[in-house]
Chain A
Amino acid sequence: GENVEQHPSTLSVQEGDSAVIKCTYSDSASNYFPWYKQELGKGPQLIIDIRSNVGEKKDQRIAVTLNKTAKHFSLHITETQPEDSAVYFCAASNPRDSNYQLIWGAGTKLIIKP
């Protein structure tokens, strides 16, 4: 079955700098890769996703890149702000295999230093 590894587990960056979180997946048939952000005391919330027919997707200060050959995808946050401090989860799915399940990474705690 699918396995998703996420690195680093903790990332500390200076406010205004960029942050990059990386994930690798094992199932080459996976074709949907969302990123969720979990703020303190809340459940995770979808912030961006990408499907395997595109290599990059941007939404303001966040972007996700996908390398299907290497089976890895990354979240990029530019011009980080204090409100970016949270735990970020990547996930992968092969909807043809299961229309319901996401396989999750272990999470990255992002700390933005003022």
Chain B
Amino acid sequence: DVKVTQSSRYLVKRTGEKVFLECVQDMDHENMFWYRQDPGLGLRLIYFSYDVKMKEKGDIPEGYSVSREKKERFSLILESASTNQTSMYLCASSLSGGKDTLGEQYFGPGTRLTVT
């Protein structure tokens, strides 16, 4: 059974704190993604990674950074948390397809982060 796990289901942090969200997948997938989900806005891509140590900015990278030191682990870092980063954060992974192929994304259960 494929699995994407996220380190916390719920997290409460204070403004200005450095926050780490961890994601681990056990499917040997090349691609990993971090999204944030807000009501009425769908899923917005923050960063993705297509290989170890590789990263690409998504649509809303400001205020975030990522780290991928091992294939199975992709971390999202909020350098200095702000209240507008209160959201649901979803991690996903997928196989790297060939040309013209997009793999199914497998999602973790999400981390609901509240910044006060």
Contacts and interface: CB of A to CB of B under 8 A. Distances in A.
Contacts of A101: 45, 48, 58
A107 B42 contact: yes
Contacts of B96: 99
Per DSSP, chain A at the interface is loop
B101 interface: yes
Interface of A: 6, 9, 31-32, 34, 36, 41-46, 49, 89, 93, 95-96, 99-102, 104-107
16 contacts: A6-B42, A34-B104, A43-B90, A43-B109, A44-B43, A45-B107, A46-B105, A89-B42, A95-B101, A96-B100, A99-B50, A99-B101, A100-B50, A100-B102, A101-B48, A107-B40
Interface range on chain B: under 10, 10 to 19, 20 to 34, or 35 or more? 20 to 34
Nearest to B92: A43
Contacts of A32: 102
A6 B42 CA distance: 10
B16 interface: no
Nearest first, the 5 A-B pairs at minimum CB distance are A43-B107, A106-B42, A104-B42, A104-B43, A95-B102
Interface in B56-107: 56, 58, 90, 92, 94, 96-97, 99-102, 104-105, 107
A43 B101 contact: no
